[in-house]
Amino acid sequence: MTDPERAWVLHVDLDQFIAAVEVLRRPELAGKPVIVGGRGDPTERAVVSTASYEARAFGVGSGMPLRIAARKVPDAIILPVDAPAYTAVSEEVMATLRAQPGAVVQVLGWDEAFVGVTTDDPEAYARAIQAAVLERTRLHCSVGIGDTLVRAKNATDFGKPRGTFRLTAENWMAVMGEKPTAALWGVGSKISKRLAAHGIRTVADLADADEAVLAGEFGPKMGPWFRQLGRGDGSAVVDDTPWVARGHGRETTFQTDLVDRADIEQAARDLTAQVLEDVAAEGRPVIGVGLKVRYAPFTTKTLVHRIAETFDRDVVLAEILALVAKIEPDRPLRLLGVRAEMAMPDDAREGHTPTRGGW
């Protein structure tokens, strides 16, 4: 029996996307533990971009140092990241989603998107999406079905792999209530620890939390927003307005720690040159700069500075080098990142927060 026709939000998430693309290119890897990261060399400093389900069974996850992943799965096939290949396949997937009847598509990344649709049978529509994506790309996806963006995004976790799951106001608390707050989209480990300090450990706790307590901890806007997340509430509008980058950044992990100030400055100059090429292609002025530093063994600091609007490359470089001067002297540096924030175009959406591009 179908529902009355109404608006739904579907969250489409490609299963083990990067690993799946690699298996398509190398069918002999099917069923084997595949890890993708860096240049594919576990002796270098790099992290895991993705791992196949077979590798995940050994505890390998995204962001894990590649050398640790290699120790966990000694017989893993470790491959280098091939961003152009993943971008090309992703574009095929998104084109498939846009071709579905009545679909409004909001791209979130290489491997996921929201689809807004009005239908009386969202499960059937989700299965049609899965079949279309599989036919065009030979990739499997999971689809979360919801009445808000938050519920659809969280629903996908229950549909993986290759399935569908529906989360609405009716069953949200029954399904999510006893889950830890970190299970929510938008609540990471750091936020969950801050919530736990106030006795807020589960989704149900967060849904019933005192807004004054949350506002005191996270601010007058973010506090109530976290409570809204706990209830699964929020926008149900899928926005297909093209995403506009607020800035561009580049970073590099040094295979040998840098200590000498001249070496660090040269690395910053090289990264700045790359960032400014990206910025030039946008045709928008720079309004802020940032520096990301990771000291050995693994302490990360971020420095940011707003500047007067400028197109002058020398001014941007000087501002970044001023941040470099604040790096602690004689402390080994294992990673350096440079970022330039740009003015948004006149037609940018007020209050739009991008989901990609930041540190």
Angle 203-209-212 (CA atoms, 0-180°, nearest 5)?
A: 145
d(CA 24, CA 129): 20
d(CA 8, CA 145): 7
CA neighbours closer than 13 Å in the CB half-sphere of residue 347? 3
Q: Which residues of 120-159 are buried (b: 16+ CB within 10 A; e: fewer)?
A: eebbebbeebbebbeeebebbbbbbbbbbbbbbbbbbbeb
How many C-beta atoms lie closer than 10 Å to residue 106's C-beta? 20
The DSSP-derived string for 150-210 is HHHHHHHHHHTTT-EEEE-TTTHHHHHTTSBGGGSTT--HHHHHHHHTTT--BHHHHHT--
CA neighbours closer than 13 Å in the CB half-sphere of residue 117? 27
**Rounded to whole angstroms, what are the CA distances from 283 to 276, 279, 306, 311?**
11, 7, 19, 9
How far, in whole angstroms, is CA 197 from its chain's centroid?
A: 26
To the query of whether residue 92 is one of the catalytic residues in this protein, the response is no
Catalytic residue among 28, 54, 91, 112: 112
- Sign of torsion over alpha carbons 115, 162, 25, 69: positive
**Rounded to whole angstroms, what are the CA distances from 129 to 35, 137, 139, 159, 206?**
27, 12, 11, 14, 33
How many C-beta atoms lie closer than 10 Å to residue 297's C-beta? 8
Count of residues making up the chain: 359
The secondary structure element, H or E, covering residue 84 is helix 83-98
Catalytic (active-site) positions: 112
